[in-house]
Structure 1
Amino acid sequence: MQHVSLSSRTGFVGTRLAARPSTIRARAVGMPQVRAAASGYQWLKKEPIVILAGFLGWFAPSNIGVPALGGKSLFGLFSESIGQELSHFPVGPALTDNFWLYLVTWHVGLFLTLFLGQIGVRGRAQGYFD
């Protein structure tokens, strides 16, 4: 490891600092040692399988009819509301329209599934769950 000497002076006290490349180390109870280089974190690397599995993992369940929605699926209601809004195209949906509820709910579920899938795949690759 190479040490670099830096000189830093203030108006009151002259000090010399030693700078060196460092690695962040964290240790939690029951967790393996984690090293994250300054270049970035390993869990930020995208995995193509996560995008496919996450999309299918949310798309399939959102197409199942549920009694709370009158036996219809969330994706079905979302698609139906898109069609209804496109029927009067120049005018956008009102703020009280159910389109916004379906839009937000479906996309939050999708992004949460993708997020948790990324954590699971990268965590398993790094040995967090061993």
Structure 2
Amino acid sequence: MQDFGLEITPRPDLPAIVARWQREITESELQHGYLGILAAGDALGCWRWLLDLRRREELASPALTSWINTEFFPRLRQRYPAPVRIAFLISPLRAAIEQTASSAAALSSASHPGQDYQTALFTDEATAYRWLAQ
């Protein structure tokens, strides 16, 4: 499936959903993309997601952070039999650059006690898959 600059690929062998952004996108496209990933997760009953951010620039704004924290993440509550695991895959260069409070790095490093999701940041795809499989 490709929409909003996003290619969503089921990987039943892992099992996981791999979502790769193919181009620069707008905040609206990012939101629609996240909802597309959620729809794919629902259709496949899959709560392990690899989000590949290497081909797009960081999108970070207070409005987007608010949407993710108050609208998107709450949709994950009790949705699947296990907490959603979201692996953010970024380039090593991007990982070395200081990240803003609303970046994927900040979202993945924040603790989520009592939440129905876990996030982590990776620069190596194989390591991300191992984490997702736990």
TM-score interval for Structure 1 and Structure 2 normalised by the shorter chain: under 0.3
Length-normalised TM-score, structure 1: 0.23
**Structure holding more helix per residue:** 1
Query: TM-score w.r.t. structure 2 length?
Result: 0.22
Look at both structures and tell me which one has the larger radius of gyration over its CA atoms. 1
